[in-house]
Structure 1
Amino acid sequence: MAIGSTIYTFTVQLADMDRGVYDDFTLRAARHPSETDAYMVTRLLAYCLEYAEGIAFGEGISSTEEPAVVVRDLTGSITAWVEVGAPDAERLHHGSRLADRVAVYTHRDPAKVTAPWAGKRIHNVDAIEVFSFDPGFVDDAVRLLERRSTVTLTVTEGQLYLGLNGTTLSSVVHARPAV
């Protein structure tokens, strides 16, 4: 945890019907001073939408060794490399060489996020998926964010329903290939 980070605590109730994942858990997230609220909310959504045994937040936004969210198997090997925001091609190449699965979750326009990757060397680029949300969805969630938040997240048929501190928002989870 970086000096000056703010700790957020999320009590999460997850029902991802599309993947058959159901769990209740408490999640602590350190928000670095240089991290925007939109980035942190997207990181929370990525964690929940990728939730699996061995999932954890990476070392932080300044780390080049780990992504924002990482999934490891029981041996410690990385099975999923999950980036948030607008990672560069080099990070995706690195992650794709280490993990079986690479995904990017963004709160930005996915076409603008993927455009700089065109023509760049990215290992197994055809297998990388980019996920985004309806315009304004993350901004609306940011306005509801508190240091201690109650979260209910339900996914069914690609539709995300996010309950955040008593207010419900919804969005389609848009998926597209990296190139």
Structure 2
Amino acid sequence: MALKAQVIKAQLQIADMDRHHYQDYALHLAQHPSETDERLMIRLLAFILNASEQLEFARDLSGEGGAELWSQNLHGDIELWVLFGTPDEKWIRKASQQSRQVKIYAYGGRSVPVWWQQNAAALQRYTNLEVWQIADDSVQALGALADRRMELQCSINEGQVWITQGTESVALEPQCLKGTGV
């Protein structure tokens, strides 16, 4: 019998001073049994950093041809396609061809610099691509906040992100490897 995904409920209060976006969100995320708390929280962090009314999580995490986090305009065109970890170049190419903007949130400790060194030259041709690295200690701290029911206060100012749940707080600063933040 296959294990079922766990439903995660997250209440977000986002104050993004960099984009002048202030909004509350009630999200329901599916956490597959094989997905770690750290990866779940990276997906949530990507939502926080790109929050909009059109931004949504995919129905499943199978990776079968679609984005896990994306937004579409009213005509059905994909405006933003978000990838996580250290994706293969073929997925980046597909996303870049189908979306106006692509963002990668790379994490994985020492594997990220190796992946970046191997792929940086090839990825330069994608003009609609941003690559952000999340430090391993930040990923671990975010994972510690994971819970089935979360109420998170999120503040973003000058590229720094603060996420608070109850008395626990995580401060992080994604590093831009390619794109507008470089």
With normalisation by structure 2, the TM-score equals 0.87
SS of alignment partner, residue 113 of structure 2? helix
**Match in the other structure for 1:7:** 7
Cα pair 1:9 1:29 within 8 Å, conserved = yes
- The number of equivalent residue pairs is 176
Write the deviation string for residues 71-120 of structure 1: whole angstroms up to 9, x where unpaired: 11112210011111121100000000011100001222442332343565
Aligned mate of 1:113, from 97, 112, 115: 115
1:1-179 alignment runs, 5 A limit: 4-109=4-109, 110-118=112-120, 120=122, 124-177=125-178
Write the deviation string for residues 42-91 of structure 1: whole angstroms up to 9, x where unpaired: 00000111112311112333223212211111122100111111211000
Q: CA RMSD in A?
A: 2.1
Which runs of 5 or more residues in structure 1 are unaligned?
none
Partners of 1:169 and 1:114 in 2: how far apart?
A: 25
Partners of 2:43 and 2:170 in 1: how far apart?
A: 17
Structure 1 residue 124 displacement after superposition: 4.5
SS of alignment partner, residue 18 of structure 1? coil
Partners of 1:123 and 1:131 in 2: how far apart?
A: 14
Q: Which moved more, 1:153-162 or 1:167-176?
A: 167-176
Partners of 1:19 and 1:159 in 2: how far apart?
A: 13
Cα pair 1:144 1:165 within 8 Å, conserved = no
Write the deviation string for residues 119-164 of structure 1: whole angstroms up to 9, x where unpaired: 65x6942431111233311211212211001111111001111112
Structure 1 residue 37 displacement after superposition: 1.4
Write the deviation string for residues 19-51 of structure 1: whole angstroms up to 9, x where unpaired: 111100111100011212111110000011111
With normalisation by structure 1, the TM-score equals 0.89
Identity %: 26
